[in-house]
Amino acid sequence: MRCRILHESRGRIRVHINGGKMTFRQADILEIYLRSKPFVSSVKVFDRTGDAIIGYIGSRGEVISALAGFSYSDETANALVPERSGRELDRRFEDKLIFEISKRLVSQFILPAPVRFAVSVVKSLKYILEALRAIAARKIEVAILDATAIAVSLIRGDQKTAAQVMFLLKVGELLEEWTHKRSVDDLARTMSLGVDKVWLKTADNELLVPINTVSAGDEIAVRTGGMIPLDGKVVSGEAEVNQASMTGESMPVHKRPGSYVYAGTVVEDGSVVIAVDKTSGSGKYDRIVKMIEESEKLKSEAESKAAHLADKLVPYSLGGTVLTYLLTRNTTKALSILMVDFSCALKLAMPVSVISAMRESSSHGITVKGGKFLEAVAEADTIVFDKTGTLTHAEPRVAKIETFGGCDESECMRLAACLEEHYPHSIANAVVHEAEKRGLFHEEKHSAVQYVVAHGISSSIDGKKAVIGSYHFVFEDEGTVIPESEEEKLNGLPTEYSHLYLAVGGKLAAVICIEDPLRSEAADVISGLKALGLSKTVMMTGDSRRTAEAVAAKVGVDEYYCEVLPEDKADFIRKEHSVGRRVIMIGDGVNDSPALSEADAGIAISTGAAIAREIADITISADDLYSLLTLRCISTELMKRINRNYRAIIGFNLGLIILGAAGVLPPATSAFLHNSSTIAIGIASMRNYLRPEKSEYPVPLDAENALQ
C-alpha cells in the first residue's frame, strides 16, 4: 500500500494512506493489521483524514515494510475485524452533537428575535405532547415539569430561558443515549460465544474442526454442557436446551429432530446433530446486544430506589411551585422552582454509573449481566470456590498412568482421550492433550457417549461397556471390579494427584493421575478478598479429603468440603441464605451449575463449560483470579458512587429550589445550573472506577490503597 510520512519522532510515526476516502471498515482493518505486529506498541487510525499514528518498538524499517505490504484484502486482518467496532457509533453521535451545537449558535446569534421565538414554540410542541401523554396515562412524570417550565417561559416571553432549557435537555438526551449505546457496544464486542472448534459430522465419524470452516448445510454434533455455536435444525438426537440468553425462558426447551436451535444457547442434557443454517457471525452481534439490553432490566436495588424516588419527587416539585406562587404571588420565584427537578439527574446518573461499571469490568475480562449482580458482589460476605479449574489451573496435566489387569498403557490413554474429548472440562482437556503429546491418535470406534454430571462418561467399544470418571461412579455406580491381587496397587496410588478411573467390560483398566497445580495467585486473592470485606471463604470439591485438606491449607480458605455432589454445593448456599448471608459462587464445570444458579452472584470461569457460563451472572477471564479483586473493587466503588450521586443530586437541587424560592436565583440561572449539574454528574458517572497501579491489581480512584 502506498502512503506518505507526515511526521515522525523516536518510536512514533504519523502517515497518510493514499487512495481516497477511507471507510470505517478499512480503518478497522488497518488498525487491527498494525496491532497484530509485535513491534507495534500503539496505533490510532483516523478514517476522516486517512491518517494513522503508529507507536513502535524496534526499527523504523519494520513499520515501513509492514505498511508497504498491507492490503485491505488481507484475509487475516479481515477475519479479526468484529461485526461492529464502535467507530461508526461514535461518529454518528459526534455529528449529532455538533449539529445541535451549530443549530443553537445559529439560532442565538444569527436569527432575529421573532424568528427565534417562533422556532422555540415549534420545538416546545414535542415536550408539551410528551407531558399530555403522561397526563393521559395518569402519571406525574418529569416530562410534565419540563413542559410546564418551557411553556411558562414562552408565555412570559422569556424565549432565552425556554431555548436554553430545551437545548440542555437535548444535549442531555444525546449524552445519555450515547453513553448507553457505547457501553452496550463495548460489551457486545468483548463478549463472544467462546466456541473456536466444533464437531463436524462426516459419513464415517466426527472431526474436530475450526468453526470458520463450517458451511451452511454441514452437520455438527453438540453434547451435554456444550454451547450450540451456529443456528440450525436438529436432524437427529434429543436434548434439553437452555435458551435463556435468547428468549428469557427459565426452563430448558426440549429439542427433537425438526426443531430449530440458535447459536449461543446451551445443551443442558442430551446430544443432537444439527444441520447448519447460518454460518459463524450471522446476527451474532445483534443477538448479544439483545441479551445485554435484556440484562439491563436486572437493576440493582439502589438503581430502582433512585428511579422510584425520582418519580415520587415530581409531584412535590409541582406542589412546591404552586405553593410558592400562592404565598408570594411572584411568578419568577415559582418558575425558579419549576426549572429544577430531581428526576433528570437521578434517572441519568444511576444507569450511567452501572453501565460504566459493566464497561470497565469488560475491559478487565469480566462480563456482567446486570447491575443487581454488581450490587450482590459489593454486599456479599461469603464466597464459595470450586477447586478444579478455579483455584487450580484450568489446564491440569497428566502426571502418570497406572494400568491394571495387564492392559496396555498407550491403548488406555488412547481410549480415555477418545471418550473425554467430547466434553468441555479441564480434566478432560488434560487427558486429550496428553494423548496428543504422546502421538496417540485414534478413530471413533466407540458408540454414542453419555455424560453423567459430576460422575463421568459411559460408552461402549467393541461391544464392551467403557466408563471413565470418579471412584464413586466407576466402582459404586457401575460395579467395576479390581483385577485380582491388584487392590494394594490401587490403594497405593499417590494422594497428591486427582484420580480418573477407566474401566472396560466391568474391570478396572487404568487410573490416570492428574496433576492439578494450584494457581500461583490463589492464596493472595483469597487474602485480598478477606481484606475487601468477605468474612467467609469456602472451598468445595469432589476430591478426596486428603487432597481437599492440602489445597485448603495452601490457599487459606476458612472452610472446605470434600467429596461433594452438585446438589451439595447448592444446599450449602441455601443454608447460608437462611442465616442472612449473601453468597458469591465461583465455578467452571457442568456440576457447578446448580450452585451458580442458587448464589446471589454466580461467577463462571471463561474457559469452563458453556452451561456454567450461560447460567452464571458474571464471567471472568481464565488468565488469573485477580479479576475477582477487580470485580469486588468496581462493585464496591459503584455502590459508593450511586450513594454519592444520590446525596449530591438531592442536596444541590434542593439548594437551587431554596435559592429560587427566596428570589436569589432567577429562572434562567436555576435552569442553567440544574441542567449543567445534571450533565456534569452524568459525565462524572462515566469515569472509570479504578486507577492502574504497579501492584498486582488496580485500586479505587479515591483510595490510597483499599486493599491494604
Q: Is the pLDDT of residue 130 over 50?
A: yes
Check whether residue 282 and residue 422 sit in a common domain.
no
Q: Is the pLDDT of residue 454 over 70?
A: no
Residue 334 DSSP SS3: helix
Which grid coordinates belong to 434?
496428553
Nearest to 564 by CA among 425, 454, 426: 454
Residue 633 lies in a domain: no
Q: Alpha helices of 296-401 — where are they, by DSSP H?
A: 301-328, 331-338, 343-363, 371-379
pLDDT (mean) for 213-225: 82
703 — pLDDT class (breaks 50, 70, 90): very low
Contacts of 206 (CB under 8 A, 6+ apart): 199, 200, 221, 444
Nearest to 609 by CA among 336, 424, 427: 424
Check whether residue 204 and residue 181 sit in a common domain.
no
Check whether residue 538 and residue 587 sit in a common domain.
yes
Domain CATH code at residue 58? 3.30.70.100
Nearest to 89 by CA among 180, 1, 196: 180
Check whether residue 384 and residue 527 sit in a common domain.
yes
Give the range among 39-43, 58-62, 252-256, 309-313 with minimum mean pLDDT. Answer: 309-313
Name the DSSP letter for residue 204. Answer: S
Give the range among 240-249, 278-287, 434-443, 536-545 with minimum mean pLDDT. Answer: 278-287
Check whether residue 180 and residue 324 sit in a common domain.
yes
pLDDT digits (tens, 9 = 90+) for 19-52: 778 888 888 888 888 887 888 888 888 888 889 9
Give the range among 425-439, 572-586, 666-680 with minimum mean pLDDT. Answer: 666-680
Euclidean distance between CA atoms 282 and 593, whole angstroms: 28
Q: What is the pLDDT of residue 175?
A: 67
CA angle 165, 168, 169 (to 5 degrees): 80
706 — pLDDT class (breaks 50, 70, 90): very low
Residue 67 lies in a domain: yes
Residue 199 DSSP SS3: strand
Check whether residue 14 and residue 63 sit in a common domain.
yes
Q: What is the pLDDT of residue 442?
A: 61
Euclidean distance between CA atoms 475 and 481, whole angstroms: 7
Question: How many domains does the structure of the chain reveal?
Answer: 5
Give the range among 17-26, 162-171, 195-204 with minimum mean pLDDT. Answer: 195-204
455 — pLDDT class (breaks 50, 70, 90): low
Q: What is the pLDDT of residue 705?
A: 42
Question: With contact defined as beta carbons under 8 Å apart, do 317 and 342 qualify?
Answer: yes
Check whether residue 498 and residue 481 sit in a common domain.
yes
377 — pLDDT class (breaks 50, 70, 90): very high
Q: What are phi and psi of 200, to 5 degrees?
A: -90, 125
Euclidean distance between CA atoms 449 and 457, whole angstroms: 7
Check whether residue 508 and residue 410 sit in a common domain.
yes
Of 465, 492, 515, the last residue of a domain is 515
Q: Is the pLDDT of residue 435 over 50?
A: yes
Size (the chain), residues: 708
Of 566, 587, 620, the last residue of a domain is 620
Q: What is the pLDDT of residue 77?
A: 65
502 — pLDDT class (breaks 50, 70, 90): very high
pLDDT (mean) for 117-139: 90
701 — pLDDT class (breaks 50, 70, 90): low
Give the range among 108-122, 213-227, 580-594 with minimum mean pLDDT. Answer: 213-227
Contacts of 58 (CB under 8 A, 6+ apart): 39
Q: CA–CA distance from 232 to each of 51, 228, 282 (Å)? A: 43, 9, 12
Q: What is the pLDDT of residue 208?
A: 76
**Of the ranges 199-213, 418-432, 512-526, which is most confident?**
512-526
Question: With contact defined as beta carbons under 8 Å apart, do 440 and 509 qualify?
Answer: no
Q: Is the pLDDT of residue 142 over 60?
A: yes
216 — pLDDT class (breaks 50, 70, 90): confident
Q: Is the pLDDT of residue 195 over 50?
A: no
Share of the chain above pLDDT 90, in %: 19
**Of the ranges 74-78, 130-134, 177-181, 185-189, which is most confident?**
130-134
Residue 660 lies in a domain: yes
pLDDT (mean) for 205-227: 79
Question: With contact defined as beta carbons under 8 Å apart, do 511 and 470 qualify?
Answer: no
Question: With contact defined as beta carbons under 8 Å apart, do 296 and 369 qualify?
Answer: no
Residue 610 lies in a domain: yes
Name the DSSP letter for residue 213. Answer: G
pLDDT (mean) for 304-318: 69
Q: Is the pLDDT of residue 636 over 60?
A: yes
Find the helix packing angle between 142-155 and 113-136, rounded to 10°. 150
CA angle 638, 643, 646 (to 5 degrees): 125
Check whether residue 21 and residue 116 sit in a common domain.
no
Name the DSSP letter for residue 37. Answer: S
Domain CATH code at residue 422? 3.40.1110.10
Domain CATH code at residue 573? 3.40.50.1000
Name the DSSP letter for residue 481. Answer: B
Q: Is the pLDDT of residue 193 over 70?
A: no
Q: What is the pLDDT of residue 311?
A: 66
Check whether residue 388 and residue 431 sit in a common domain.
no
Question: With contact defined as beta carbons under 8 Å apart, do 431 and 548 qualify?
Answer: no
Q: Is the pLDDT of residue 367 over 50?
A: yes
Euclidean distance between CA atoms 151 and 538, whole angstroms: 61
Question: With contact defined as beta carbons under 8 Å apart, do 239 and 225 qualify?
Answer: no
Give the range among 237-251, 500-514, 531-545 with minimum mean pLDDT. Answer: 237-251
Query: Which position has the grid cell 445519555?
Result: 176
3-state percent helix, strand, coil for the chain, nearest multiple of 5: 50, 20, 30
Share of the chain above pLDDT 70, in %: 81
Residue 704 lies in a domain: no
**Of the ranges 296-305, 360-369, 593-602, 616-625, which is most confident?**
593-602
Question: With contact defined as beta carbons under 8 Å apart, do 164 and 187 qualify?
Answer: no
Check whether residue 49 and residue 24 sit in a common domain.
yes
Q: What is the mean pLDDT of the chain?
A: 80
Q: What is the pLDDT of residue 602?
A: 92
Residue 325 lies in domain: 92-188+299-353+638-691
Query: pTM for the full model?
Result: 0.64
pLDDT (mean) for 56-80: 81
Residue 705 lies in a domain: no
The more confident residue out of 554 and 697 is 554
Residue 627 lies in a domain: no
Domain CATH code at residue 222? 2.70.150.10
Of 81, 113, 139, the last residue of a domain is 81
Check whether residue 176 and residue 317 sit in a common domain.
yes
Euclidean distance between CA atoms 11 and 247, whole angstroms: 50
Residue 697 lies in a domain: no
